[in-house]
Structures are given as structure tokens and as C-alpha cells.
A and B are shown apart, each in its own frame.
Chain A
Amino acid sequence: MNTNTLVSLKNVAVGYNSNVILDGIDLEIRQGDFIALLGPNGCGKTTLLKTIAGILKPISGEINYYDVENLIGYVPQRETLNPAFLLTGYEVVLMGTYGRVKAGRPLPQKEKEFAIKCLRLIDSEQLANKPFFELSGGQRQRILIARALATRPRLLLLDEPTSGIDSPTSQSIMETLQTLNIEQGLSILLITHDINVIKNYAKDILIIYNNKVHRTVMKDITTPEKIATLLNISID
């Protein structure tokens, strides 16, 4: 494992309940990477992301993590969260700090301040006291990114962060992620179907086709048409 490798996968197979969706995955995610994970619907993108995040166990193979306390910040799809909870934006962000506080102990003031700092980092301090589920899709996405940042991660995993969000908001979120990637060296792996995201922000591309994961760099996929051909999708 290289010194700036954060996560490495060796011959990993992922899936649910021993049903293999993707196998033979060899992958290294390094410090400063900005990777877009592409593939048609149902090909196993989210399964792979969740396996890297440690939410799912790999069916076979080996995943090695760089030995730091908080390595991964995970941003799920917004729709997976339970809307019955009456939480403010700040309370959602605060959850990111829970990993550092022992169960049953009060949350230290410095963690509360850090949660506010994370909100500020993504220009969303004004959303702190607003009910999370009354926010727009883009605002909610920002809160979830702030929550992931509150875990103090080295690697941010995002599941379709710009899906269902209007173009200017989507662009603004991606610019924030780019800034975090460049200025703070935060590694990013995100799932997307947005050609503009792939074209304008990602340095590397992971493409899933024929049940395999293929890594390539942006310069090898110079046009949206090539991406569309690889993914077997049509573009307008």
C-alpha cells in the first residue's frame, strides 16, 4: 500500500446476500483523487460505494484502509433518510461529530463549534436552524456534505450528490467539492449521471460495464459522446 493510498481493493467482489453484482475489482483511492463513478442504472455503483464505506461487507477479496481514526465521510442519497424526524440542519450536521464522542457523554462545545464551521465551509450557516426536511434538495445536499465533513474525513464518498437538483445549484455544490479537493486535499469519489460533472470536475473516471470496474482518466474520454457510448445511454 502506497503511503498516499487511502483505500485499496484487491480482487474484491461486491453484492447483497452472497449474490455477486461486481467482481474482480482492483482499485486504489489516493490522497487528492477526484473520481467519478459511472455506470447504467442497477449496475452496482451504490453497492460498490457502500462496500468502500464499510456499510456492506465485501463478498470476497480484500479492502485495506489507511490507518487513521476518521477516514471516510459518507453522503447518502437524500431520499434514503427518514422524513419523520424533526431535525434542523445543524442537528443533522452535528451527527457527523458523534463518532468522536463516547455514548452517553454530553457533546463537547468544540464539537458543536466544529459543526458550525462545517456549515460555514459550504456556505450554509443560514440553514442551521431550518427544519432539514423543509429545505430544498440542493440545500439538503449541502447539509449532508457538511455532516460528512464534520466526521473530519480524508475521503468523501457521495451517492449522486447532484441528482434531482437544478443546474446552477448542482454547479455550486460541485465547485464547493472541487475547492475542498484542491485546497484541503480531500479525496472524493462520487456517483453521478451528470455529464457536466464528469467533464468539468472529475480527474479520474471509474466506469462499470460488463460487471467489471474500469478506471480511466479524463483525457481518454474526451467527449460526452464517448461516455454515452461506454454507458450505452443516449444524450440530447
Chain B
Amino acid sequence: MNSMMEILSADFLLRNSLYVSVAIGLICPIIGVYIILRRMVFLGIALPQISSFGIALVLSIHIWFGHANPTHYGEQNIMIYAGAIGLSLIAIIWLAFSEKQNQIYSESRLGAVYAIGLAASILILAKCPVAEQGWMNLLKGEIISVSNADLWLTIFGLGIVVFCFWRFNREFTLVSFDREMAITLKKNVLLWDLLLFLLIGATIAIAVLVVGPLVAFGFIIIPPLISRGLVKSMRGFIFFSSLIGGVCAFLGFMLAYKYDLPVGALDITLLGVILILTFLFKDIFKLFVKLRKN
């Protein structure tokens, strides 16, 4: 209880970290719902890796171009944002178009993107230990300090994503559920797909910048998996996924602060425990119903 009061107080030193971590916890599951519904889970793995490659590229740019002032993590955030978001968006547009051309190899393509993104990140950071350390912290999901500028940039970016999902939820559901119906209704399916993918790409890039690829992927996939079995409507699915993500991000942060543990890893472990408990509870409930029937 003391820890909770402490992290909720106005002068808490890491309050910006808490705010962005909860914001990521609330928003990532919303795009996760669409990633799961459209069966693009591999995209959820590959894109964070591409984003982190974008970050690695920006962090190490001085090595390759002989720049006098190294761009280390936290020093030139706009460039890092541009690198992560730019590469994510290019990757998602390329993946979207190549999926349209050839769906058979789409999973293999995403697997290849994941492996190449990770390998390339390690390689380009090999000559810059400081940047490598910053990137490794990101990979582990260490959320240490977030500046006011970073906080507002994150909130602004995620705010646009939430607004678009709230405003165009109907169109996204239609093109995802029944593409052919959308065409007969003269909807521009390609445009809506592109907007959906851009929102997914932007959210992942922002999340990776704040919490790293592992935690971003965890928040995208696990909360929708938990809530999928508990709800009966699309609204409930989106709402509960977001709620679970937000609550776990807060609890994870609080426990990590109290016990001095890495926040990201704790968040995902917490989500994992809830996921296992949900499956167990469902199985026990089914067994109970079966026994009652007999």
C-alpha cells in the first residue's frame, strides 16, 4: 500500500515512466485485438524488432557517418522516434503489399524479417558500446527515466491512435471480418487496410521506444488472449484487453519499484500468470459444468 501511495504521489521521481508504461499497457492491447483477429501474430513479433532496428540504426549513425556528437539513447529523441516509426511504417506497408501479392509465404517472410532485424541491430551496434548498452536496456524492457518531452510525444502519438480506432472501428471491423462484403459496399478496402496497418505500425514503434520489443509484443498479444475467453462482444473484447493491459502495467510498475526488479519483465510475467490462471479457471469451469450435467 505504501508503494502505491508513493508512486501515485505528485513528486514521485519516476512518474513519467509510470504514465507511459500505463498508457502503453492500455493502448497496445487494442491493436493486439486486431492483430489476433486478423491472424497476424507474427507481425506483432516482427514489427517490434524492425522498430528496435530503427532505434539501433539511429543510435549508431555517428559510427557509420563519422558524426562528431554521438546520438545516444535519450539525447536526440526526435531522431530516434523518426527512426523507429519510419522503419516500422515502411516495413508494415511493404509487408501489407507483399501479403496481398502472395499470402502463402507471409509467415515465413515475417520470420525472416524478425531474424534479419535482430541480427542487423546487433551488428550495427557492435562498434558503439554506449549505444549498445542503451539498446540492450530497451531490449530487456528497462523503463528508467522518461523526459516530459518523451511523455507528451508518447501521449500525443497514442492519442491519435486511440482517436482513429474509436472513430473508424466500424470500418476496421468490416474490412477485417468480411473483405468481400466491404468491396461490394464500395469501401476502399486498400485504404482502410493501410490505415489500420499504419496505426499498428505507429503504436508498435512508440511502444518499442518506451518499453522495448519484448514488452511491446507481450502487451500486444497477452491481454487480448486473456480477455478473449471472458467476453462475448467485440466492445467487451477491446475494453477488457485494454483494461487488463493497463492494470498489469500499473501493478507491474508498483511491484518492480517495491522489489527493485526490471519493470518490463515483471509486467509480462504478471500477464503470463493471469493468462495461465484464466486457462485453468476456464478448464475447471468446463469440468464443473460437465460434472453437473452428468
Contact = CB atoms under 8 A, between A and B. Distances in A.
A89 B37 CA distance: 18
Contact of B180 (A74, A86, A99): A74
Interface stretch (A77-85, A187-195, A202-210, A227-235): A77-85
Contacts of A84: 36-37, 39
A99 B173 contact: no
15 contacts: A50-B180, A54-B184, A74-B184, A76-B181, A80-B180, A81-B177, A81-B178, A85-B176, A85-B177, A95-B177, A96-B185, A98-B187, A99-B186, A104-B168, A131-B232
B183 interface: yes
Interface stretch (B196-204, B233-241, B265-273): B233-241
Contacts of B173: 85, 87
Contacts of B232: 86, 131
A95 B181 contact: yes
B174 interface: yes
Contacts of B184: 53-55, 72-74, 151
Contacts of B177: 81-82, 85, 87, 95
Contacts of B168: 103-104
Given A95-B181, A107-B170, 19 more contacts: A53-B183, A72-B184, A74-B184, A80-B178, A80-B180, A81-B177, A84-B37, A85-B37, A85-B173, A85-B176, A86-B237, A87-B233, A95-B177, A96-B185, A98-B171, A98-B185, A99-B185, A104-B171, A151-B185
Nearest to B191: A103
Interface of A: 50, 53-55, 72-74, 76, 80-82, 84-88, 91, 95-96, 98-99, 101, 103-104, 107, 131, 147, 151
A73 to B, nearest CB: 8
A74 B236 CA distance: 29
Contacts of A53: 180, 183-184
A85 B175 CA distance: 12
Given A50-B180, A103-B171, A82 B37 contact: yes
B234 A95 contact: no
Contacts of A74: 180-181, 184
Contacts, number: 72
Interface string B151-193: 0000000000000000110110110111011011111000000
A147 B234 CA distance: 18
B126 interface: no
A76 B180 contact: yes
B231 interface: yes
Interface of B: 36-39, 167-168, 170-171, 173-174, 176-178, 180-181, 183-187, 231-234, 236-237
Contacts of B237: 86
- Chain A CB count within 10 A is highest, among B168, B185, B236, for B185
Contacts of A147: 181
A149 to B, nearest CB: 13
Contacts of B167: 104
A145 B187 CA distance: 20
A49 to B, nearest CB: 10
A213 B184 CA distance: 23
Contacts of B234: 85-87, 91
Contacts of B180: 50, 53, 55, 74, 76, 80
A98 B231 CA distance: 25
Nearest to A69: B186
7 closest cross-chain pairs (CB), A and B: A99-B185, A104-B167, A74-B184, A55-B180, A84-B37, A85-B177, A55-B183
Contacts of A82: 37-39, 176-178
A42 to B, nearest CB: 19
A98 B37 contact: no
A91 B173 CA distance: 11
A107 B171 CA distance: 12
Contacts of A50: 180
B183 A86 contact: no
Nearest to A134: B232
A168 to B, nearest CB: 28
Contacts of A103: 168, 170-171
A157 to B, nearest CB: 9
B187 to A, nearest CB: 7
A152 to B, nearest CB: 11
